[in-house]
Structure 1
Amino acid sequence: MIHNPNNIRTAGKPLDQATKVMIMVHGRGGSARDILSLSNHIQDKDFAFIAPEAQNNTWYPYSFLRPMEENEPYLSSALEVMASLRARLQADYNFKLPQIYWLGFSQGACLMLEFLARNATEYGGVFGLSGGLIGPAETPRAYEGSFGNTPIFLGCSDHDSHVPKERVLESESVFRKLGAKVTTKLYPNFPHSINEDELNVVNLLIAGDQPPLAII
């Protein structure tokens, strides 16, 4: 296995005391420590946060828009880390799937969204920041399962240097078809980063509030 599923960091409440857990997935060149710093912006204090770290800080070598086989065997190993982490939270800490939340940025958002599309079920919430489903434009999206009204937020620049807005909107469509309640926001001429509005939307969705649906 390329990526070590035991290479993880945690923050927030201890896993055995929390009523909710958020899996946070870092981007290319990032780290578990980096992405966990976002936990300081989550207003709900009942969360444990857990973040896996990629081998050499990269989940797969090439763009997420390249043919999937070009990113193997790294991509399959990274997807296995997602599956292993979810299984551990269920088996060792007795989290039910609706108590599990996911947040990823950039390459981490792409990896997380692809894993969840392949494993659609009801989660607490899914927050994909500057990412989209993996593969070239002609990739068949024959995913199965249902998100059962899981709130999903996709936030990205409308001119992102790595993530075309068309892929964000395609991902939105796929998740809607799988039963998710999707909020998408494209931010005009914003750099490839996370902004305050995105974090506000995340907090609103965690609280069960409905953020404005308009793409801005």
Structure 2
Amino acid sequence: MNAIDLASLLCSRLCHDLLSPVGALNNGIELLADEQDPEMRERCLELLAESAKASANKLKFFRLAFGAAGGFGEEVDSREAQLALEGLFGAERRIELGWMVADGRLPKDATKLLLNLALIAGDALVRGGRLDVGGERSERGLELVIRAEGPRILLDPGLRETLQRGSSGGKVEPRAAGAWLAHSLAQGAGGSIKLSDPGSEVLLIGADLPRQG
């Protein structure tokens, strides 16, 4: 897997996630153009506003998790990462988010790693639940922990494999782009990613980054 392959995978993931809200925007505009009833037009405008907000929230999150957001410095305001997660998961109100990152600023790569792990854990909460995101510095460096709990947790075995071992045979599917990026970021920092057992009632994902401290 090279940088071009990774960029293609991330673009595919971004397009996939934006297809639904952007498609809703297009449908809403078409309905609005033909609708004459005032109440229905108001409802169309509400749906357009919701879809526009969802699109903006996804773009803000992916810009920080996948792109070069946060400026050209080495660190990112952790509040920016918190807001990105709240925008991504908070709108649907399916997932209750707990933010437990003590530091006001985090290394840029650590921020990307944290957001990608949180995205993977949040997606695993197929029926909603609670997602706790934590991070703190210790003598060993920077420790990140994601905890997901809900009525049903489903983490694809392929994502689990990619998080812990990277690509298998050099091939990664678009849905695993974030997992491959997370693995690469942890490995590049001299760290690793650990997960709770597949049969656990709670999903735990931890990352130790000794070079980030």
Report the TM-score range of the alignment, normalised by the length of the smaller protein.
0.3 to 0.5
Q: Which has the higher helix share?
A: 2
Bigger CA radius of gyration: 2
- TM-score (ref. length: structure 1): 0.32
> What is the TM-score when the length of structure 2 is the normalising length?
0.33
